[in-house]
Structure 1
Amino acid sequence: MSLLRLDFSLFPDASAGAEIANLVEAEWTAAHPGEPVVRRNPGTDPLPADAWALATTAATTPEPDHSPAQREAFALAGTLAGELAGADAVLLAVPLYNFGVSQHFKTWVDLVITGAGGPNPILEGKPAVLVTVRGGGYGPGAPREGWDHSTAFLTRIIADVWQADLTVIERELTLAATTPGMESLRDQAARSHAEALAAARKTSLTPAAG
């Protein structure tokens, strides 16, 4: 039994997502003492920006004709896909940056898809938890309702393409406590924080029976 944890925050020491993910991991560790946790931190140890293009061209080029850079990128894609396919459970902490998908998450996804030989269901039936956090408010009635262009993409990839048994934990308004002009949102932010922590404590990453 192994857990693959991926953190995409640029600021891990102050990451609101990591706080929630730490609780999910603690629950998993308590249920599976001594079992390995494989970690990758693309936010602070980013994947090469040109790796996907190199891996993609390598996939359509005869192996003897691969350049050294293509060979390295294709091997990286295979490693990332193998990590994901080999995990029994997956935990991802992905923030919303500038209203869209983290570039580090997108690069990782592109490489995994290449390494897996296409958009294959490599997590079929496996439990996964996505922790996603947003500095502002994007819910129904908010001035920026509909501006979150990340969460739907994340769930589409993890649940629909890779077919994981996905649980999503969301926290909004993480900047309310420190940002002038957001004072009126602090009670709402505190509720969102408390609800996310409660969800993390009761989230199970144990595969479903059968």
Structure 2
Amino acid sequence: MNLFRLDASILPGTSASAEIADIAEAEWVAAHPGATVTRRHLGTDALPADAWTLATTAAFAAEADRTEAQRDALALGATLAEEVQNADAAILAVPLYNYGISQHFKVWVDLVIAGAGPTTPLLKGTPTVLATTLGGGYGPGAPRAGWDHSTPYLERILADIWEAELTTIKRELTLAAATPGMESLRDVAKEQHAEALAAAREAGRALAER
């Protein structure tokens, strides 16, 4: 058995998304002692920003005409795609940054697609947990309702293109406890925190049973 775990927080020591993912992972590992966990942390080990460009342009060049950098980028894309495709279960911890996904996560997605093809269902039938966290509030009635341009994209890639059996755990208001002006939201934030951790335990157990 092989669990693929991806993190994208740039602050791993205090990551709210990692907290959720850690709980789900612990449930899976407890049910599969000795199993393999393949890890990739984009926040602490970012992929080269130009790799996708190199991999994409290489696809339009004859093999003999490709530069060493293009060949390396193609190989990297293939490796990343293989990590995803080989998973029996997957957990992705991806926070929202600046109302969308971060550039380092987008590079990863683009390289995986470059390595596997744009329509390959890499996670077809694979139980997958997406832990995503947002510093503010983006739900109905919030001043910035509709500004979450991350979660729909993540679900489109994971569930619709890669065909994962996806469970999304979404926690908002992660900055409320420490941000001036958000004091009135702290009780709601605590509730959402507790709900997210409970959902992580449930999702992890369900992941382990598959």
**Normalised-by-shorter TM-score class:** over 0.9
TM-aligned CA deviation for residue 166 of structure 1: 0.2
TM-aligned CA deviation for residue 207 of structure 1: 6.8
| Whole-Å separation in 1 of the counterparts to 2:24 and 2:135 | 21
| Aligned residue pair count | 208
SS of structure 1 residue aligned to 2:177: coil
Q: Is the 8 A contact 1:123 1:164 kept in 2?
A: yes
Given residue 205 of structure 1, which amino acid in structure 2 is its aligned partner? Answer: L
- In the alignment, which residue of structure 2 is the partner of 1:202? 202
- In the alignment, which residue of structure 1 is the partner of 2:99? 99
Q: 1:38 to 1:16 in 2, by over 3 A?
A: same
- In the alignment, which residue of structure 2 is the partner of 1:74? 74
Q: 1:129 to 1:62 in 2, by over 3 A?
A: same
Q: Specify every segment of 5 or more residues in structure 1 that has no aligned partner in the other structure, as ranges.
A: none
| Whole-Å separation in 2 of the counterparts to 1:89 and 1:45 | 22
| Whole-Å separation in 2 of the counterparts to 1:205 and 1:105 | 23
- In the alignment, which residue of structure 2 is the partner of 1:174? 174
- In the alignment, which residue of structure 2 is the partner of 1:63? 63
TM-aligned CA deviation for residue 121 of structure 1: 0.7
| Whole-Å separation in 2 of the counterparts to 1:207 and 1:114 | 32
Given residue 173 of structure 2, which amino acid in structure 1 is its aligned partner? Answer: L
TM-aligned CA deviation for residue 59 of structure 1: 1.5
Q: Is the 8 A contact 2:32 2:208 kept in 1?
A: no
Q: Is the 8 A contact 2:27 2:208 kept in 1?
A: no
SS of structure 2 residue aligned to 1:205: helix
Q: Is the 8 A contact 1:55 1:71 kept in 2?
A: yes
| Whole-Å separation in 1 of the counterparts to 2:148 and 2:64 | 44
1:126-157 CA distances to partner (integer Å, 9 max, x unpaired)? 11100000000001100100000000000000
Q: Are 2:15 and 1:19 equivalent residues in the alignment? A: no
Please list every run of at least 4 consecutive aligned residues from structure 1 whose deviation after the TM superposition is greater than 4 angstroms.
none
More helix by share: 2
Given residue 149 of structure 2, which amino acid in structure 1 is its aligned partner? Answer: H
- In the alignment, which residue of structure 2 is the partner of 1:128? 128
| Whole-Å separation in 2 of the counterparts to 1:117 and 1:207 | 30
Q: Specify every segment of 5 or more residues in structure 2 that has no aligned partner in the other structure, as ranges.
A: none
Instruction: Provide the TM-score with structure 1 as the length reference.
Output: 0.97
Instruction: Provide the TM-score with structure 2 as the length reference.
Output: 0.97
Q: Is the 8 A contact 2:3 2:90 kept in 1?
A: yes
Q: Is the 8 A contact 1:89 1:207 kept in 2?
A: no
Q: Is the 8 A contact 1:128 1:205 kept in 2?
A: yes
- In the alignment, which residue of structure 2 is the partner of 1:43? 43
Q: Is the 8 A contact 1:128 1:167 kept in 2?
A: yes
| Whole-Å separation in 2 of the counterparts to 1:207 and 1:63 | 44
| Whole-Å separation in 2 of the counterparts to 1:108 and 1:178 | 31
Q: 1:57 to 1:207 in 2, by over 3 A?
A: farther
TM-aligned CA deviation for residue 117 of structure 1: 2.2
1:14-59 CA distances to partner (integer Å, 9 max, x unpaired)? 1011111100000000111110101000111110000001001112
- In the alignment, which residue of structure 2 is the partner of 1:7? 7
Q: Is the 8 A contact 2:89 2:128 kept in 1?
A: yes
Aligned alpha-carbon RMSD (Å): 0.9
Given residue 101 of structure 1, which amino acid in structure 2 is its aligned partner? Answer: I
TM-aligned CA deviation for residue 119 of structure 1: 2.3
Of 59-68 and 165-174, deviating more is 59-68
